[in-house]
Chain A
Amino acid sequence: MSAADTVAPDAVRQSGRWVFATGVALLVLWVLVPIWLLMVNALSSPAEVTAFPKSLIPSFDTGSMAFFFGFGGVLDALWNSVQVAAVTMILAIGLGAPAGYALSRFDFPGKEAFRFLVIMTRAFPLPLLALPLAVMFIRTGLDDTILGLALVHATLALPFAVLITFSLFSGIPVELEEAAWSLGCNRVQAFRKVVLPLAAPGIAASAVFAFVISWNEVFAAAVLTIQNKTLTAFLLQSLDVSPLHLKFAGGAVLVIPALLFIFAVRKYLFAMWGIANR
């Protein structure tokens, strides 16, 4: 027992609990207050956004939002963002899940080399890929297209998809598959009827994560799209000309889906890192 415990155990524990609770409250406020302030701006009229001093409570005026959605090019940009993110999601899962399955189920020469390749992608600033790819895309006619940008975003999302599905499939006992084989299923049937239903929620989560990565990406989107800008590229390139209420409404439109997505995948946030560390 430490000295403090013998002097006044209750008082010390009590004050310790207070310090702890205050700390937790401060950390929670630190995360949530800035988001709240952005929402206050987005839900106020344009005049209120530039007014001074500001209220900390929104007036729930839809003026800023209406202006944002009515602004030329915004709806197109929004739709482009959704399309790019959806294609990214399909590419990342379609390429990543088979690799994750192979890593979790087989031991074979070259396995370590592949894991090294995947982990190495994390040691490189991936958005820079957009520079050389811009030229390659012009040659192949992929420049300024949804697919072209999605290919770059898929390189960002693929390592995560591989690592998440790897830990996901590792968590499903191989015995279940073996039981299915012994009951007359072939490999594909066993996978479809036994493994897939168990892994589906996790695969969905990693798909959502791929979507978020693409939705949020700024640099490659700004370099690779000209006519078909995504929302991030559009906002970035209009930063120095757009009025404040447009910026804040745009920021809010970027943030709100992200809040929902992270909520949807919260259970799987750790699967990406726990095993991937070693």
Chain B
Amino acid sequence: MPRALPYLLLLPATLFLGVFFLYPFLQVAADSALRGGEWTLDNYRRMASHWKFSTAFWNTLLLAALVVPIQLAMALTMASVVTKLEAGRSTLLYIFAIPLGISDLAAGLIWLAIFEQSGFLNSILTTLGVIDQPVLFLSYQNTWVILLAIVLAEVWRATAIMMVIIVAGMGLIPKEYGEAAEVFGASRWQRFTRVTLPMLKPSLQTALILRVILAFEVFAVVVALGGTQFPVLMGETYHWQFTMQDRGVAAAFAMVILGISVAFTLVILRLLHVPKEARV
């Protein structure tokens, strides 16, 4: 009995993940390669020949490329600030962590309140005399403003998760390392780049993988701010599944998102690899 106990405890969770995680992924892979009951690449062909596909694909990658580096820099700054602080540390942490609990849809609506035509940005700019009358920021003529609004909303919403992971990681670095560097005359910046960052690799790895995958899943923020004027992969998946009722093509889109997610996960694992002997 005692030897079987751990397996009995793991069994429900394993079965659950098998049925609702592993099986659906095999199913979606099969769906993407089936059309009318036959194995074919038709779904992929349809997807690739649709005029929105390459826009959606590059928009998704562009967003991730813009958002993730900004978030990394901000999360590192926030984490450094929090670790350095003595008084008010937990209050500040709570405030920085607030967006963690806010859904992407709500984040999109929050930034819509700022960017819409009668929104706060227009109000402030008019009051300051920069513009005479409100500008229609989120229109198809200003795709770059839509992009800017989405980037701001994403940075605002999802920096918190990286910050939390990095703060947790910083807490695991022994203080002696930084002190030793200080004794040898390292400046604050040198201590950060030569001691903290390398020691933080495992946390950075987790944070980046999680964030990059979430960035490829960007959906509700984009719909709230850009409607259909800024196509992204997840939005197209939804469109094909829900509006077009074409599960095959939707599955093909899903496989593309899955593919870039796995590819980037492997790249990050490789770039930030920490040999087992070098871990604390």
Residues of chain B whose beta carbon lies under 8 Å from any beta carbon of chain A = 3, 5-7, 9-10, 12-14, 16-17, 20-21, 23-25, 27-28, 31, 77-78, 81, 84-85, 90, 92-106, 109-114, 116-120, 122-123, 126-127, 134, 156, 164-165, 167-169, 171-172, 187, 202-203, 205-206, 209-210, 213, 216-217, 219-220, 223-224, 227, 234, 237-238, 241-242, 247, 250-251, 254, 257-258, 261-262, 265, 279
Complex CA distance for A62 and B220, rounded to whole angstroms = 27
The 4 closest A-B pairs by CB, nearest first: A216-B103, A251-B109, A258-B101, A132-B27
CB distance from B230 to the nearest CB of A (A): 14
**A68: B residues at CB distance < 8 A:** none
Q: Pick from B14, B93, B187: contact of A117, CB below 8 A.
A: B14
Contact call B103/A215, Cβ cutoff below 8 A: yes
Q: List 11 A-B contacts (CB under 8 A).
A: A34-B156, A37-B110, A37-B113, A99-B9, A218-B105, A223-B241, A235-B109, A236-B224, A239-B223, A251-B106, A254-B103
The one of B93, B110, B156, B241 that contacts A251, using a Cβ cutoff of 8 Å:
B110
Contact A274 B101 (CB under 8 A): no
Cα A35 to Cα B6 with chains together (Å): 45
Q: Of residues B16, B96, B103, B111, which shows the largest number of chain A Cβ atoms within 10 Å of its Cβ?
A: B103
Is A262 part of the contact surface with B, judged by Cβ < 8 Å?
yes
CB contacts (< 8 Å) of B14 on chain A: these are 99, 114, 117
Interface residue A229 (Cβ < 8 Å from any Cβ of B)? no
Known A-B contacts A24-B81, A35-B110, A158-B13; A266 and B94 likewise in contact (beta carbons under 8 Å): yes
By beta carbon, the residue of chain B nearest A107 is B6
Give A40 to B220 CA distance when docked, in angstroms.
22
- Find out whether the CB atom of A123 lies under 8 angstroms from the CB atom of B265: yes
Contacts of B102 in A (CB 8 A): 216, 254-255, 258
* Across-interface contacts of B205 in A (CB, < 8 A): 277
* A276 interface neighbour in B6, B105, B206, B279, Cβ under 8 Å: B206
> With a CB–CB cut-off of 8 A, which chain B residues contact A141?
none
Q: How far is the CB of B149 from chain A (nearest CB, A)?
A: 11
Q: Cβ of A222: which chain B residues have Cβ within 8 Å of it?
A: 238, 242
Is A269 a contact partner of B5 (Cβ separation < 8 A)? no
Within the complex, the shortest CB–CB distance from A95 to chain B, in Å, comes to 5
Contact of A106 among B6, B31, B104, B134 (CB under 8 A): B6
B83 to chain A, nearest CB (A): 12
Given contacts A131-B241, A259-B98, contact A254 B187 (CB under 8 A): no
Is A69's beta carbon under 8 Å from chain B?
Answer: no
Find chain B residues with CB under 8 A from A50 CB. Answer: 118
**Cβ contact of B118, chosen from A51, A118, A127, cutoff 8 A:** A51
Known: A123-B209, A129-B24, A254-B105. A32 touches B254 (CB 8 A): no
Asked if B206 and A121 sit within 8 Å, CB to CB, the answer is no
Known A-B contacts A31-B96, A259-B101; A124 and B25 likewise in contact (beta carbons under 8 Å): yes
CB-based contact A53/B165 at 8 Å = no
Question: Shortest distance in angstroms between B27's beta carbon and chain A's nearest beta carbon?
Answer: 4
State whether the Cβ of A71 lies closer than 8 Å to any Cβ in chain B: no
Contact of A258 among B27, B106, B116 (CB under 8 A): B106
What residues on A are CB-neighbors of B254 within 8 Å? 125, 128, 131
Is A154 a contact partner of B203 (Cβ separation < 8 A)? no
CB-based contact B169/A273 at 8 Å: yes
Interface string of A236-273 (1 = CB under 8 A from B): 10011000100110110011001101110010011011
